[in-house]
Amino acid sequence: MTSSPSPLRPSREEAEDAIRVLLRWAGEDPSREGLLDTPARVARSYEEFFEGYEISPEDLLKRTFSEVEDYDEIVLLRDIRFESHCEHHMVPIIGRAHVAYLPRKRVVGISKLARVVDAYARRFQIQERLTSQIANTIDSVLEPYGTAVILEAGHQCMTTRGVHRPGVSMVTSRMLGVFRDNSDTRRELMAMLNRPNIGELSA
């Protein structure tokens, strides 16, 4: 995950040992052939699932386009798939994010909005905090007239265990600036979200 790990961070070997303990605790024999490479695979998967801890979301938004300084309408990137992990049960949260801002002077490359979503999603999360972190970062770095973030997600801690309710999704939002204060602007955003998604045409 990092080339210079913090002294508090366990080594890869310790992480793999912990995975062997979990396998034993589940009733398995980590030395059987099919499981021999599993601790290393899981550790590699964790590096991927949790790479957000190594990314600075603020830095992702530093490069802005000055040529479009006079654009002052809503920019919306919708249906951004994200994958996160619930901090309570360490199982996946899979959903879609819709991210909008109304630029004041700074416009960013749209992929950067998806990268900010990933930078926070690839950590242990609860959905409310994930929603706020994405919105707050865009708002503080770009200083737009407003920022809006809406997340819809399925939580495997509710679908594959515990209360077992497949098909349930959780919806959260954070509205800042004009999206919070101006009902016309918020309505315009909702109308944009309700239009058919043509993104798949270019997929």
Ligand X SMILES: Nc1nc2c(ncn2[C@@H]2O[C@H](COP(=O)(O)OP(=O)(O)OP(=O)(O)O)[C@@H](O)[C@H]2O)c(=O)[nH]1
Residue 85 is assigned to a ligand binding site? no
* Largest CA-CA distance found in the chain, in angstroms, rounded: 64
Q: Which stretch binds ligand X (CB under 6 A): 23-31, 40-48, 94-102, 155-163?
A: 155-163
Q: Is residue 109 a contact residue for ligand X (CB under 6 A)?
A: no
Residues 169 and 60: their CA atoms lie apart, in Å, by: 29
Q: Give dist(CA 153, CA 168) in Å, integer.
A: 8
Tell me if 133 contacts ligand X by CB under 6 A. no
**What DSSP string describes 69-108?**
TT--S-EEEEEEEEEEEETTT--EEEEEEEEEEE-SS-EE
Beta carbon nearer to ligand X, 19 or 86? 86
Q: Which two tokens stand for residue 81?
A: 């798939």
The DSSP-derived string for 17-48 is HHHHHHHHHTT--TTSGGGTTHHHHHHHHHHH
Using CB under 6 A as the binding rule, whether residue 155 contacts ligand X is answered as: yes
Phi-psi map region of 177: left, alpha, beta (phi>0 left; psi -120 to 50 alpha): left
Task: Using the rule CB under 6 A, give the single segment among 22-30, 48-56, 110-118, 120-128 that binds ligand X.
Answer: 120-128
Size of interface with ligand X, in residues (CB under 6 A) = 10
Report whether 89 belongs to an annotated binding site: yes
Give the x-and-dash track for 17-56 against ligand X (CB under 6 A): ----------------------------------------
Is residue 158 a contact point for ligand X (CB under 6 A)?
yes
Instruction: For residue 97, state whether it binds ligand X (rule: CB under 6 A).
Output: no
Nearer to ligand X, 62 or 165 (CB): 165
Give the whole-angstrom CA distance, residue 203 versus residue 201. Answer: 6
Residues 6+ apart with CB under 8 A from 155: 86, 91, 93, 127, 168, 170
Out of 126, 136, 143, 169, the only residue in the binding site for ligand X (CB under 6 A) is 126
79: contact with ligand X by CB under 6 A: no
Shortest distance, position 88 Cβ to ligand X, whole Å: 4
Q: Least distance (Å) from ligand X to the CB of residue 151?
A: 9
Q: Which residues make up the interface to ligand X (CB under 6 A)?
A: 86, 88, 126-128, 155, 157-158, 162-163
